[in-house]
DNA sequence: CGGGCTTGGTTCAAGTTTGAAGCAAACCTA
DNA sequence: TAGGTTTGCTTCAAACTTGAACCAAGCCCG
């Protein structure tokens, strides 16, 4: 079958997206590197942890939530642990497992970094969009995410989350 | 001044965007790595070169077009040169300058890789979007790009391009 | 129980990216 | 036209990412 090339409209959209996403990640990484000494991904790890009730998450669950590979997460958490922002505990119920826990210092760093980060995201993105465009953005990328991993299989259960006992330490 | 946090709508849009862009780049990188032995950026370098009349571009111009830093480009071109897909020539009119030239083999590799790449982009993105969404995508990200670099200053002139003489070799 | 398979996570080597220097050619400007 | 600044690009070390092993703990099934 002959290739279905991109239409001119699609070309333009694709190029606009590629260019902007590179610039955007660059901008955000640089800002966070400056003000928090870590790249965007590492900030996101802290942020994700901070949103759970116990500020802890299984490594795999964290990796899935962030859409990154496990080796990448292992490396990142090792660094954050060295900096004292995250602690690693092994999971009681599954001795293979390990759990990343946000430390108090991690919370502090996150809270210090958050305003600047949000400001950057606003300045680079949301301040330039109409409310309709915000909706469009969400729709488009939600659909893309669904396509790219929805096919891979739905979310599965995560052992420790179903306990409400104090910890997996 | 107190931080203007993201609204729930903005939160959702932002997260959708982050997740999807990670998955998308991952998908595309993996596909190109498999079928062409190079990541997306390297493919884009070849593609950019192939679109110029002489299949050549000054390093700086290439870096600006791709929205990447110069060291990054230097490294990437070095690799492509080692693989024989790109050749480096020094610019006659500006002895500091160097010019990346797409080789015939580079063209061949690019043409072999293009169909699979386009198919991946389609499957991951455009096949999931309505025509209106394609337009929205372009508008949103064109505006973001403008915001992130338009402020930095407009495009400047590039010496060799203004010549129509056969080469800068 | 006792093998095999799967799962959760880490480790390792190779490749890539980053930011700060470094270097040489061009461009002032007096 | 000499001296200082800018520009174009590369180099370097440190940080990060990738994919392929690897290892141990759970799981399955007889």
Each residue's pLDDT tens digit in chain B (169 positions)?
789 999 999 999 999 999 999 999 999 999 999 999 999 999 999 999 999 999 999 999 999 999 999 999 999 999 999 999 999 999 998 999 999 999 999 999 999 999 999 999 999 999 999 999 999 999 999 999 999 987 644 343 444 343 333 222 2
Tokens 């992130």 appear where? B148
Predicted local confidence at residue A151, as pLDDT: 65
Residue nearest to nucleotide D17 (CA to C1'): A72
H helix and E strand count, chain B: 6, 3
Of B3, B118, B142, Cβ closest to residue A5: B118
Lowest mean pLDDT among A72-76, A112-116, A162-166: A162-166
**Cβ contact, residue pair A141, B22, below 8 Å:** no
Predicted local confidence at residue B56, as pLDDT: 97
Tokens standing for B165?
């003489």
Is the pLDDT assigned to residue A159 strictly greater than 60? Answer: no
Whole-number mean pLDDT of chain A? 90
User: Measuring CA to CA, which residue among B77, B63, B94, B88 is closest to residue B160?
Assistant: B94
Query: Which chain A residues are closer than 8 Å to B13 by Cβ?
Result: 134-135, 137-138, 141
* Span B146-160, pLDDT tens digits: 999 876 443 434 443
* Strand, coil or helix: A161: helix
CA-CA distance, A104 to A85, in Å (whole number)? 7
Shortest Cα distance, chain A CAs vs residue B83, angstroms: 25
Arithmetic mean of pLDDT, A129-154? 88
Q: What domains can be seen in chain B, in order of their start residue? A: 16-149 (1.10.10.10)
CA-CA distance, A101 to A152, in Å (whole number)? 28
Cα distances from A162 to residues A99, A165, A166, in angstroms, run: 14, 9, 11
Nucleotides on strand D with an atom closer than 7 A to protein CB?
7-12, 15-21, 24-26
Q: Give every CB contact of residue B125 below 8 A, 6+ residues apart in sequence.
A: A14, A144, B24
| CB B56 within 8 Å of CB B62 | no
Rg of chain B over all Cα atoms, to the nearest angstrom: 19
Work out how many CB contacts closer than 8 A connect A with B.
Answer: 151
Q: What angle do CA A134, A65, A77 make, to 5 degrees?
A: 120
Predicted local confidence at residue A25, as pLDDT: 98
Of A10, A133, A147, Cβ closest to residue B134: A10
Nucleotides on strand C with an atom closer than 7 A to protein CB?
7-12, 15-21, 24-27
Predicted local confidence at residue B153, as pLDDT: 40
């Amino acid at each position: 079958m002959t290739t279905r090339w991109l239409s001119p409209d699609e070309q333009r959209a694709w190029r606009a997206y590629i260019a902007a996403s590179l610039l955007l990640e660059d901008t955000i990484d640089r800002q966070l590197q400056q003000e928090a000494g870590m790249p965007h991904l590492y900030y996101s790890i802290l942020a994700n942890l901070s949103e759970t009730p116990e500020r802890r998450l299984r490594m795999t669950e964290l990796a899935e939530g962030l859409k990154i590979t496990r080796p990448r997460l292992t490396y990142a958490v090792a660094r954050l642990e060295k900096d004292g922002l995250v602690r690693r505990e092994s999971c009681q119920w599954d001795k293979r497992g390990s759990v990343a826990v946000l430390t108090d210092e991690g919370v502090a760093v996150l809270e210090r970094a958050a305003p600047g980060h949000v400001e950057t995201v606003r300045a680079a993105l949301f301040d330039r969009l109409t409310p309709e465009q915000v909706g469009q953005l969400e729709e488009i990328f939600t659909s893309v995410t669904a396509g790219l991993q929805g096919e891979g299989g739905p979310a599965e259960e995560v052992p420790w989350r179903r306990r409400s006992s104090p910890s997996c330490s």
